[in-house]
Amino acid sequence: MMSGRSEVAVANLSSVPGGRSDNAPLAGADAAPVTRPVEAVSTRAPGRSRVMVLLAAVLLCGVFFLPLWNVRLTAPQYPEGLGMHIRINTVEGATENDLNNINNLNHYIGMKRIEPESIPELRYMPWIVAALVVTGIGAAAIGKRKALYGWTGGLLVVALVGLIDFWKWEYDYGHHLDNEHAVLKIPGMTYQPPLIGAKQLLNFRATSWPAWGGILAGIAIALAVAAVLLAWRQRKLALAQR
Amino acid sequence: MKILSGSKALFAGVAVAVFAVGALYSCTATSSGNDNVLVGNAAAKVYVPPGKYDEYYAFFSGGFNGQMMVYGLPSGRLLKFISVFSQNPETGYGYNEETKPMLQTTYGFTPWDDTHHPELSQTDGVPDGRWLFINGNNTPRVARIDLKTFETTEILQIPNAAGGHASPFTTPNTKYIVSATRFSVPIPNADVPIDTYKQNFKGTLSFITADQPGKMDIAFQILMPGFNYDLGHAGKGPSDGWFFFTTYNSEQAFEKLEQNASQNDKDFIAAVNYRLAEQCVANGKAKTAPADYFHNVMDERSRVAHSERKSSVKMLNPKDCPGVVYYLPTPKSPHGVDIDPTGEYIVAGGKLATVIPVHSFSKMQKAIADKQFDGDAEGIPILKYNSTLAGEVQKPGLGPLHTEFDGKGNAYTSMFISSEIVKWKLGTWQVLDRMPVYYSVGHLMIPGGDSKKPWGKYLVSLNKITKDRYLPTGPELAQSAQLLDITGDKMKMLLDFPTIGEPHYAQAIPADLIKGNSLKFYKLSESTHPFVTRSEAEGGIRRQGRNVHINMIAIRSHFAPDNLEGVMVGDTVYFHVTNIEQDWDIVHGFGVLGAENAEVVVAPGETRTLRWIPKATGIYPFYCTDFCSALHQEMQGYVRVSAPGSNVALKANVSERAKSQSTRAQALPTHGHDVGEVGSGSR
């Protein structure tokens, strides 16, 4: 990776201590005037940005192993709680029977059974994330600033669409109730769990938080955005110096 | 106490007066006992705040209710009834088809017994929390209770025996549990004049293999003189490999035992070298003797019990295995025999003795080596009393019965007649403290107090008589348990709580050794029950001659099917109810109008079958008996019963919803089982 160091940095390498090369343009801007201004504003992203994007892509792999989101339900009858793990490709109970038990309870309010097979997004998502991982590594390897921008943009779009989609499913389950078969019908009551945070739904308190997979994805997004900001600022500085 | 200190005549003749003195003593002690409670911080020591767990599980025998009770200590809260040897309409145990075989004996279906002694399984002489054993005293049986499910999983009948009282005490690794005959009888049993007792009546000591669940069996029996064998305990440490049983009625009386069995100055402790017995059996010294007994096992996967009838045992006559049994003379009809944690001291509780005699195992071995014999009883050498005696606790109180230990060198003995617990020191035999209890303590229990490593924090006194201790409830009163703090030099009374059915003995173990293993439900996917119904769509009704089988599921808050037609008067109906919940503490019950047996209670993942014979046409409702959910009251259904020969078609409704959830045809599972006898086994 260090071989892909920016040309500006290379130009100023002699003037800064080793290992801080990415800071070199900033530190060196005053100390050593740029001698080759034509090459200074390169299309290549700073090495640190590329490392961050690579790391982001690698961290994204975590969502294949760890749940993205946890929904937890507690009630007077369920002090131990029931839980659902939202994974990249499925929805599963926190224990072997939790999902079935949640579905059994939901029949009282006429909620559809939560069946992962009936949620097509769960089939696409692994491919989309796999593509993000591959392209992320690719973008880091190419090292073009725009590639990083593009990849980060894609990542943000996928994350945003994913969250909206998750919310939509929650809305769908919580609102589209089978009133014909529901035995517990409370006018005006809907049962959409929160996207994030806690909410009281009859006797159940539903809490929803990112799980380790979601947290890793969040870190990946933060890294990607930071990488973009870094590259963007560096370019801005370089332009200013021209 | 003064009255008894000298004259032996008083023991036999004036038993009633002695009892009265004991009661008087207790009465005078009442006020001081109550003061004791008030001065201390007893309430704080037994207070377990709402939602918090007790420190110990305590298992109390149900006495003459034939069951077992689980209490939490120190709170004294009742946690569970475990059905063992008696039918229990509360759960359907012994009424439903699956558990009926558990109560099968050679005498037929035997739905009651008298439970006396719970015994925890041990590893290296310390309770391990795997299983609990308990004896049936009336029709000699031993049961295994699995402490993952708190359910009886196995019952073995003891052949060639009457009155299984010295049972089911364990060896240090639960290789064996034992059962000895309280009542001697002809062996094999025979029609003889009762006054031929001396020539015809015998006792047996049974060693039962117990370390393999589902495989309990009689390893061997030892044929003994016709005395009464009362209690037993295994040796440990240096005395490992020996088992000690008390005997009374060495007089061999067969009538008016109250007097006639109290004549001899000393009866015996039988010291049995069971390792030697094993060798003798292995070397072919035991005879294969006829026997007739049942072994009943609850299958773990199907939750259906099966019975197997067995026909022989290995019977060892001590004459054929010299050195296998010695008798240790022990004063006055000894009851308990308790081995201290080091395994050196053998403490006897002579019901009518004025001392507590303590034998030494090392002295016993020396006496055997030196042949310090004082005659024999039917060929069994009797050791000289003084050759084995380590010491006697003088003036301990009246009516010593049982002794347990705190692991700190102290022993605690229950005194039935003087109604107190007496603490004394091993080695010096000095009485250190006494605590009145209300009234007439039988067994006492320290968690692990009969093992190598007692948890010597609490002591429970199991009292037989409650009289004025609780609000009066007519002529029949509860029994009581009293909890004592034994951490200090002086015992402190903390709590008392009523118990039911006269628990004889109890055992307790730190909750941490059990609670993590507790099962939450049976896995429906693993059930091999021949009539399991795994989903609503699989429910249905089927006729086989005059038998009608109904496959039904129970789930919050409905049965499916819940409308059944085509049943006719004269049919025998089997409701096979599967609770398809896979969730903790979601239990459903099933009761039907006119059932002549009981309800069935069905744990999650389990199938239970209620047999029902309707006698008149009409509509019969059934309903869920265990309050399961908000719509429990709606959890009901109807069976239509038509006249014999009517043309009402068999019909079981399955909801559209259930049908849509499963594309499988609505057909009963096919299996080659004899459907009329779900639980019966080979005979």
What digits encode the pLDDT tens for the residues B477-523? 999 999 999 999 999 999 999 999 999 999 999 999 999 999 999 99
Task: Give how many domains chain B has, as a whole number.
Answer: 4
- Give B604's DSSP letter: T
- The answer, yes or no, to whether ipTM is higher than 0.85 is no
B245: enclosing H helix or E strand? strand B242-248
Q: Are B659 and B666 in contact (CB under 8 A)?
A: yes
Burial of A3 (0-12, 13-18, 19+ CB in 10 A): exposed
Q: Are residues A126 and A156 in the same domain?
A: yes
DSSP conformation letters of B528-596 = --TT---SGGG-EEEEETTEEEEEEEEETTEEES-EEEEEETT-EEEEEEEE---STT--EEEEETT-S
More confident residue, B104 or B668: B104
Asked if residue B11 has pLDDT above 60, the reply is: no
DSSP conformation letters of A58-108 = HHHGGGGTS-SEEEEEEETTEEEEEEEEE-SS-EEESSTTHHHHHHHHHTT
Asked if residue B646 has pLDDT above 50, the reply is: yes
Query: Confidence band (pLDDT; 50, 70, 90) for B679?
Result: very low
Please give the pLDDT value at position A5.
40
The three-state DSSP-derived secondary structure of B46-109 is HCCCCCCCCCEEEEEECECCCCEEEEEECCCEEEEEECCCCCECCCCECCCCCCHHHHEECCEE
Owning domain of residue B299? 83-224+287-320
pLDDT tens track for A14-33: 343 444 444 444 444 444 45
Q: Cα torsion for B222, B225, B230, B233, to the nearest 10°?
A: -40
Query: Confidence band (pLDDT; 50, 70, 90) for A40?
Result: low
Please give the pLDDT value at position B40.
66
CATH number at residue B306: 2.130.10.10
Burial of B484 (0-12, 13-18, 19+ CB in 10 A): buried
Indicate whether B325 belongs to any domain.
no
Q: Are B330 and B347 in contact (CB under 8 A)?
A: no
pLDDT tens track for A42-55: 888 889 999 999 99
Please give the pLDDT value at position B654.
78
Query: Confidence band (pLDDT; 50, 70, 90) for B31?
Result: very low
B277: enclosing H helix or E strand? helix B274-282
**Cα→Cα distances B43→B39, B49, B510, Å:** 10, 12, 21
pLDDT tens track for B265-313: 899 999 999 999 999 999 999 999 999 999 999 999 999 999 999 999 9
What predicted TM-score, i.e. pTM, was given to this entire model? 0.86
Q: Are residues B378 and B336 in the same domain?
A: yes
Q: Are residues B572 and B654 in the same domain?
A: yes
Q: Are residues B163 and B138 in the same domain?
A: yes
Query: Confidence band (pLDDT; 50, 70, 90) for B23?
Result: very low
Over chain A, what is the mean pLDDT?
85
Q: Are residues A144 and A178 in the same domain?
A: yes
**Cβ contacts (< 8 Å) between B555 and chain A: which residues?**
104
Q: Are residues B100 and B213 in the same domain?
A: yes
For residue B634, the chain A residue with the least C-alpha distance is A183
Asked if residue A12 has pLDDT above 80, the reply is: no
Instruction: Kindly report the nearest CA distance between residue B539 and chain A, in angstroms.
Output: 18
Q: Are residues B577 and B654 in the same domain?
A: yes
Listed in order, strand segments (DSSP E) in B378-505 are 380-383, 389-394, 400-405, 410-415, 420-425, 431-436, 441-445, 458-463, 479-485, 492-499
Listed in order, strand segments (DSSP E) in chain A are 69-75, 78-86, 91-93, 197-201, 204-210
pLDDT tens track for A116-170: 999 999 999 999 999 999 999 999 999 999 999 999 999 999 999 999 999 999 9
Which range among A237-241, B617-621, B657-661 shows the weakest confidence by mean pLDDT? B657-661
Supply angle C-alpha B164, B418, B350, rounded to 5: 45
In the predicted model, what is the mean pLDDT of residues B192-215?
Answer: 97
Indicate whether B646 belongs to any domain.
yes
Q: Does B583 sit within 8 Å of A108, measured CB to CB?
A: no
Measured distance CA(B566)–CA(B648) in Å, rounded: 5
Indicate whether B367 belongs to any domain.
yes
Asked if residue B417 has pLDDT above 50, the reply is: yes
Q: Are residues B599 and B542 in the same domain?
A: yes
Please give the pLDDT value at position B658.
63
Over chain B, what is the mean pLDDT?
91
Q: Are residues B365 and B503 in the same domain?
A: no
Q: Are residues A46 and A100 in the same domain?
A: no
Asked if residue B574 has pLDDT above 50, the reply is: yes
**Cβ contacts (< 8 Å) between A96 and chain B: which residues?**
582
Indicate whether B675 belongs to any domain.
no
Measured distance CA(A112)–CA(A125) in Å, rounded: 22
Owning domain of residue A65? 61-227
Q: Are residues B595 and B639 in the same domain?
A: yes
Determine how β-strand B104-105 pairs with β-strand B108-109.
Answer: antiparallel
pLDDT tens track for B363-382: 999 999 999 999 999 999 99
Q: Does A101 sit within 8 Å of B582, measured CB to CB?
A: yes
pLDDT tens track for B130-146: 999 999 999 999 999 99
Measured distance CA(A5)–CA(A9) in Å, rounded: 7
Asked if residue B27 has pLDDT above 90, the reply is: no
More confident residue, B264 or B3: B264
Q: Are residues A69 and A23 in the same domain?
A: no
Task: Give how many domains chain A has, as a whole number.
Answer: 2
pLDDT tens track for B517-552: 999 999 999 999 999 999 999 999 999 999 999 999
Q: Are residues A102 and A73 in the same domain?
A: yes
Percentage of the residues of chain B whose pLDDT score is greater than 90:
87
**Cβ contacts (< 8 Å) between B557 and chain A: which residues?**
183
Q: Are residues A164 and A47 in the same domain?
A: no
Show which of residues 69-128 on chain A sit within 8 Å of chain B, judged by CB atoms.
80, 96-97, 100-101, 104-105, 108
User: Phi, psi at residue B44, to the nearest 5°?
Assistant: -65, -35
Q: Does B582 sit within 8 Å of A96, measured CB to CB?
A: yes
Q: Are residues A42 and A68 in the same domain?
A: no
Q: Are residues B178 and B313 in the same domain?
A: yes
Compute the count of residue pairs across chains A and B with CB atoms less than 8 Å apart: 19
Please give the pLDDT value at position B14.
39
Q: What is the CA radius of gyration of chain B?
A: 27
Residue B83 neighbours by CB under 8 Å, 6+ apart: B67, B91, B93, B94, B99, B151, B152
Q: Are residues A197 and A93 in the same domain?
A: yes
Q: Are residues B546 and B634 in the same domain?
A: yes
**Cβ contacts (< 8 Å) between B631 and chain A: which residues?**
108, 183
Please give the pLDDT value at position A180.
85
Please give the pLDDT value at position A35.
52
Please give the pLDDT value at position B336.
96
Q: Are B422 and B402 in contact (CB under 8 A)?
A: no
Q: Are residues B359 and B425 in the same domain?
A: no
